Amino acid sequence: MVRVVDINCDMGESFGRYTLGQDGLIVKFISSANVACGFHAGDPIVMDETVRLVAENGIGCGAHPGFPDLLGFGRREMMLSSREIRASVIYQLGALSGFAGRYGIRLQHVKPHGALYNMAARDYRVARAVAEAVACFDHRLILLCPAGSEMARAGREVGLCSASEVFADRAYESDGTLVRRSEPGSVIDHPDEVAERVLGIVMHGRVRTRDGGELKVSPDSICIHGDTPGAPALAERIRKVLLDFGVSVEPLGGFLRC
């Protein structure tokens, strides 16, 4: 048996004069990129450069649509109607696709960003609007979301192939949700601990929760973060530990069966 998993990371989060992340480094260690689409981060030039980088490195190109809130980096919940969500997601998918076409690639997946991701994970109405937008834009797109979430359910209902992800560097509650960023211990930054968690997730199908229990997981993708100073080194470490244990790291589109 061959184990295979995807590593996904947000990319293209710079904006104009503002640089965020170390995309040029991190792209070497991941297999799928979630590219910001200009609403919560990213701008046309950043998107163009990011898609080119993704294409040159042969990794999966995903859209990372968010709320229209650059100031809040898409992390503030906004109460949008289903129509507003649908139209906003289609707009962002279309915009990113323009650049994908330029570099001869197709979008592989969609992963909502920040507050939109969190709301779609737990709120069926939001999840459904996101899933409908993705399906109507291109029904071959993979919806990347938490296992067992409302988003996974909505994706299934509209006929999308969905992939599940686990966060390598975020603490989990016993119910499978992420510990909120505002709470202490929500982000795990020690490389050894992250590497150990990744192995536990991929090799044993489990991750320890904040209260000391264990969560069963079987992710298609490991999510890592790219906007911390040590992110490239951490990504390299995670990739190496997986390869060392015989796990192949590949883009979702290459191995996912729906």
Here the tokens at position 202 are: 């991929």
How far apart CA 148 and CA 155 sit, in angstroms, is: 11
Q: Is position 117 an interface residue for its own copies (rule: CB under 8 A)?
A: no
Give the CA diameter of the chain: 48
Q: CB 84: neighbour CB atoms within 10 A? A: 14
Exactly one of 1, 2, 83, 212 binds its own copies (CB under 8 A); that residue is 83
Residues 125-144 interacting with its own copies (rule: CB under 8 A): 136-138
Here the tokens at position 197 are: 């968690």
Q: Is position 16 an interface residue for its own copies (rule: CB under 8 A)?
A: yes
Sign of CA dihedral 253, 256, 257, 258: negative
> How many CA atoms does the CB half-sphere of 45 hold within 13 Å?
6
Q: Is position 48 an interface residue for its own copies (rule: CB under 8 A)?
A: yes
Exactly one of 7, 9, 35, 38 binds its own copies (CB under 8 A); that residue is 38
**Smallest distance, its own copies to C-beta of residue 1, A:** 40
Considering only 73-81, 194-202, 211-219, 239-247, which stretch makes contact with its own copies by CB under 8 A?
73-81
Please say which residue, 180 or 190, places its beta carbon nearer to its own copies. 180
How far apart CA 53 and CA 173 sit, in angstroms, is: 35
Task: List interacting residues with its own copies (CB under 8 A).
Answer: 13, 15-18, 20, 38, 41, 43-45, 47-48, 68-73, 75-80, 83-84, 86-88, 90-99, 101-102, 115, 136-138
